[in-house]
Amino acid sequence: MFTRLQEIEEKFLSLEAELGNPDTLQDTKRFQQVAKEHADLQPIVNAYREYKDISSQIEDARLLCNDADADIKEMAESEARELEQKKRDVEQRLKLLLLPKDARDEKNTILEIRAGTGGEEAALFAADLFRMYSRYAERKHWKLEILSESPTGIGGYKEIIVLISGDKVYSRLKYEIGTHRVQRVPETEAQGRIHTSAITVAVLPEADEVDIQIDPSELRVDVFRASGAGGQHVNKTESAVRITHLPTGLVVQCQDERSQHKNRAKAMKVLAARLLDMKTAEQAANITEERRSMVGTGDRSGRIRTYNFPQGRVTDHRIGLTLYRLDSIMDGDIDEIIDALAMHQQALLLAGSSTD
């Protein structure tokens, strides 16, 4: 580990020197690339330098542990113990910083919310979760754009697909993949009985052109008249677009914009993200059982969380976390859940790396 840390520090110093090079300053693209790489290494280098500094202090304290003066010896032994604990803490932090990064963490995200079992109540809960993620995006200063939606007559969604753009969106939202269950008395329930409904959440990193190459000859594009709410333009022009990817059979459609061109562009974004997700899933098919058990691996069939309205609680079943503040969570205050899931995954990664 320390050989690698030394190499990282040397790389960091090399980048630092390049940032001060006049040629680099004149090349905007290169400067941005070097600055980003330098910034990415900064936390590791800072921790490594802190580790070396503490190690040096421990050596000095140990020398004083042999002092003839009993008071100095006692003080040195106490300081050495405190420094050893700090050293262990920094070493643990370094191990976390050196864990392999998910290359997708920096990407923008396509979030798909679909009503499952439960009829209209499931559709209403899909709308509630959309609001929760919208409020979370606001808290993070992310941008949210609706790509496709299928609203119901009473304010729910059969399906809604949105693009969320901002800093490290996928790194936070990837833990939301799966089935979300709600237990509450529906507005349509006359006898006050608690119903259980479910919706599914898919989280797809937005695909760049370098990630997925789509051959236009492998697409069938159909245009049709939009239906549903939308004003006078609905059913008057063929602005809605349906794209079928022939090799995989994936079908994406969008009808939210008046422009056929805009609808096609949005549909292509969703298609590219789904193809990237499929490609990633295929690559992950051969990973170990231990890694498959990690949170956030993308198993959409598993029930990951329950929102119990009568008891005001939310339970994440993957890590056994229960919080009794349903109202604030539904208002987008979900960092505590996501932080706990991220820490759990880090622990699993650390355990895996220690056995390699």
pLDDT tens per residue across span 266-275 = 888 888 888 8
Assess whether pLDDT exceeds 70 at residue 302: no
Assess whether pLDDT exceeds 60 at residue 137: yes
φ, ψ of residue 153 to 5 degrees: the values are: -70, -20
pLDDT tens per residue across span 140-192 = 999 999 988 899 888 899 999 999 999 889 999 999 999 999 999 887 666 77
The CATH architecture that domain 216-283 belongs to is 2-Layer Sandwich (3.30)
CA 138 to chain centre: 15
Q: Which fold has domain 105-210+294-355?
A: Alpha-Beta Plaits (3.30.70)
Same fold, 2-97 and 216-283: no
Give the residue extent of every domain in the chain: 2-97, 105-210+294-355, 216-283
pLDDT of residue 65: 86
The C-alpha atoms of residue 211 and residue 35 are separated, in whole angstroms, by 24
CATH for the 2-97 domain, from 1.20.58, 3.30.70, 1.10.10, 3.40.630: 1.20.58
CB 125 within 8 A of CB 199: yes
CB-facing half-sphere around the CA of 252: CA atoms within 13 A = 21
Nearest Cα neighbor of 120 from 197, 234, 174, 172 is: 197
